[in-house]
Amino acid sequence: MLKLRYSSASPFVRKVLVSAHETGLIDRIEIAPADVWAPDSDIFQDNPLGKVPSLVTPDGTFIGSALCCEYLDTLHDGRRLIPIVPVERWPVFQLHALADGMMDAAVAHVIEQLRRPQAFVYQPFLERQLGKIQRALDAIEVQANTFGERVDLGTIALGCALGYLDLRLPQLEWRQSRARLSQWEAAFAQRPSMAATTPYL
């Protein structure tokens, strides 16, 4: 049995959950909630960094969503979410890096607004994070019509990043002027793995 330390709103946790659904491993995973902000949180028992996701396995504990997903990808016999062949592998990692960067920027923006006392919220920092997100969205829009029906670590990360923007930063209205990405997301969001992992606060 595997144990996933979990937060319901985390796009990084969702990436691992979607990967588990897509690889048929979800029934082997115990979901263990963690409040990473609580002073007495038990997350430190599984991850000294105090972050989710953390995947506790017979092979040790894996921290960080990319490593969790890569580990899961070794446990099934189906089509790999992280291809081995370089010509297929590098585009997956390139898209994953952009999507993960959007998640990092969005989470940083949310934490700055929600966790820092209002009097100390630094507006230039917020604007910097929004700039990262907007530029990444524009770069992905250019290539969105090439994704087709791809299901891999890159497209999973992208779907989770866009879902998090809808949840936490709806004011961005990212679909405006990004018709190709919007069309792709609408189709990808219908996958059972995405529907089963809809984030909530």
Going from the C-alpha of 193 to that of each of 19, 117, 185, 197, the distances in angstroms are 8, 37, 13, 6
Mean pLDDT of 171-181: 96
Average pLDDT over residues 156-173: 98
Residue 200's pLDDT is 87
Distance CA 145, CA 178 (A): 11
178 φ, ψ (degrees, to nearest 5): -130, 65
Q: How far apart are CA 137 and CA 162, in angstroms?
A: 9
- Is the pTM higher than 0.85? The answer reads yes
Give the pLDDT confidence score for residue 29 in this predicted structure. Answer: 98
Residue ranges and CATH numbers for the domains of the chain are 2-72 (3.40.30.10), 86-192 (1.20.1050.10)
pLDDT at 185: 98
Alpha-carbon span 16 to 66, nearest angstrom: 8
* Cα gap 164→108, rounded to integer Å: 12
Q: How far apart, in whole angstroms, are the C-alpha atoms of residue 150 and residue 186?
A: 14
| C-beta neighbour count of 192 within 10 angstroms | 10
Each residue's pLDDT tens digit, 113-159: 999 999 999 999 999 999 999 999 999 999 999 999 999 999 999 99
